[in-house]
Amino acid sequence: MSRKKIYVLDTSALLTSADCIYAYGKNDIVIPFKVLEEIDKHKKRQDGVGTQSRKTIRILDDLRSTGSLFNGVRIRKGHGLLYAWGTKDLQSAGLPEDLDSSIPDHLIIATALAVRKHHPDRKVIMISRDINMRVICDSLGLPTEDYISNQAVDDSDNIFTGFSSYLVDDQLVDRFYNGEEIILDLETTQYRPNQFLMLVSSSNEKKTAIARYISPTMPLRPLNKYKKGVWGIKPRNKEQQFAIDLLMDSNIQIVTLIGKAGSGKTLCAIAAALQQTVDDFVIRGEPCYSRMIVSRPVQPLGKDLGFLPGSLEEKMKPWLTPIQDNLQFLMGNDKTTLDMYLERGRIEIEALTYIRGRSIANAFIIIDEAQNLTTHELKTIITRVGEGSKIILTGDIEQIDNAYVDETTNGLTHAVEKFKDFELAGHVTLHKGERSKVATWAAKYL
């Protein structure tokens, strides 16, 4: 059997990343006609899926100009050939009668089987992000793989949490509380900038102190205590205390918060934003932010209701209502005051759809539900951040509504992992639900 393989790309792989065409080196690639048809259906979408759809079409059009997709065209120097392939007789290709040829996935599988029949001396592998499709392929004896090159981590359990315990001498805890500068030994530490540490006494595990690690050459930093709270919000657990410490630090320009429903990630972020914008709060003599901008991806839960009537503001209202709920709660349910700040431009609630091309300076930016963003969308958003701005990304990776990302491939997870080594960024994973007993119970058991 030839060592050169043939990879058949499913729609889900191309809509995750059009660059998967370049991911298989000297091996050949086949794109079924049905995949081309499905890609075309998504090209008008104004999100990451639409972006990858249009990019795929452009790549194929560029390749078409250098050769024939029917006969096979060289992808690039050092790579294999790319073919567009279709099949008419599905049963002769090896598709069981149980599978319906009117279903796109089954037609794509039939194409892969036809390719294998046409090239019996080569290994044919189906690439799909669809789990059920991979199960069917395996049941037919067709080798199949997931497209995983865009995973930030191997498993969601390995995502950086931003917190760790560190065993120390009993005297070191006392010295830290007494205000002495404590620098941990570089040889015995493997921590990230702005990671929170619980210093645990080696002689009494109940004797602890909480600090923020900055770098091997800088002393541990005690957490700022806001006795009056932040815009009236006081942390209810240590993770919320960590989050507020990062949110109120103007030196930290990127903050990522992951937490289950009701953990307070969005509320803490909005409270910190209000404190530093609307309240004209000044941190260590530095000027506050001129405005706060809050947004979230337009991603429906369940069946989409379709296009909404009215102006842009009216269209976006259903998507941004959860943000307005938090704002109104923090304003003491005073809608008049909230409307006043909105009219003055101190608070902006905007759609992400039209963020490309903007440069947002001196603003406190909150992107809620960031787990529904692709890495491409996230890059587009973060690169809009201008001088003097701070961006907060919040989300729950266990509640993803975007069918083309998961716990390890979404934009929020990528942000956590890519920025964890930089001093301008900080991350906290919130574990405890504080919204209500019902919300906590539902998040844990449903």
Identify the band that residue 334 occupies on the pLDDT scale cut at 50, 70 and 90: confident
In a domain, 299, yes or no: yes
DSSP β-ladder status, 425-430 and 254-259: parallel
Looking at residue 192, what DSSP letter applies?
Answer: -
CA distances from 69 to 20, 33, 63, 83, 431 (A): 17, 11, 8, 5, 51
Question: Which of helix, strand or coil describes residue 195?
Answer: strand
Q: Which domain range does residue 250 map to?
A: 230-445
CA distances from 299 to 313, 369, 372, 399, 406 (A): 16, 9, 7, 12, 14
265 and 377 share one domain: yes
Pick the last residue of a domain from 114, 130, 145: 145
Q: What is the mean pLDDT of residues 31-40?
A: 94
112 and 240 share one domain: no
234 and 132 share one domain: no
Angle between helices 33-41 and 104-118 (to 10 degrees): 150
124 and 250 share one domain: no
Whether the Cβ atoms of residue 230 and residue 244 lie closer than 8 Å to each other? yes
pLDDT digits (tens, 9 = 90+) for 158-209: 899 999 999 999 999 999 999 999 988 755 557 899 999 999 999 998 999 9
In a domain, 420, yes or no: yes
User: From CA 33, how far away is CA 127, in angstroms rounded?
Assistant: 15
User: From CA 232, how far away is CA 267, in angstroms rounded?
Assistant: 11
CATH of the domain at 348: 3.40.50.300
In a domain, 265, yes or no: yes
242 and 137 share one domain: no
Q: Which residues contact 249 (CB under 8 A, 6 or more apart)?
A: 224, 283, 426
> What is the share, in percent, of the chain residues with pLDDT greater than 70?
87
Looking at residue 76, what DSSP letter applies?
Answer: S
pLDDT digits (tens, 9 = 90+) for 77-87: 989 999 998 87
In a domain, 210, yes or no: no
CATH of the domain at 58: 3.40.50.1010
pLDDT digits (tens, 9 = 90+) for 256-306: 999 988 898 999 999 999 999 876 555 555 557 999 998 888 764 434 445
Q: Which two tokens stand for residue 431?
A: 């574990």
In the predicted model, is pLDDT for residue 234 greater than 70? Answer: yes
pLDDT score at 304: 45
In a domain, 441, yes or no: yes
The structural domain count of the chain equals 2
Pick the last residue of a domain from 124, 145, 166: 145
In the predicted model, is pLDDT for residue 239 greater than 80? Answer: yes
252 and 373 share one domain: yes
234 and 139 share one domain: no
In the predicted model, is pLDDT for residue 315 greater than 70? Answer: no
Pick the last residue of a domain from 117, 145, 173: 145
In a domain, 327, yes or no: yes
Average confidence score pLDDT of the chain? 85
pTM of the model: 0.77
The larger pLDDT score, comparing residue 233 to residue 92, is at 233
User: From CA 59, how far away is CA 21, in angstroms rounded?
Assistant: 9
Return the minimum-mean-pLDDT range out of 46-50, 241-245, 357-361, 408-412.
Answer: 46-50
In a domain, 261, yes or no: yes
CA geometry: angle at 200 spanning 160 and 415, to 5°?
Answer: 10
Q: What is the mean pLDDT of residues 24-38?
A: 94
In a domain, 383, yes or no: yes
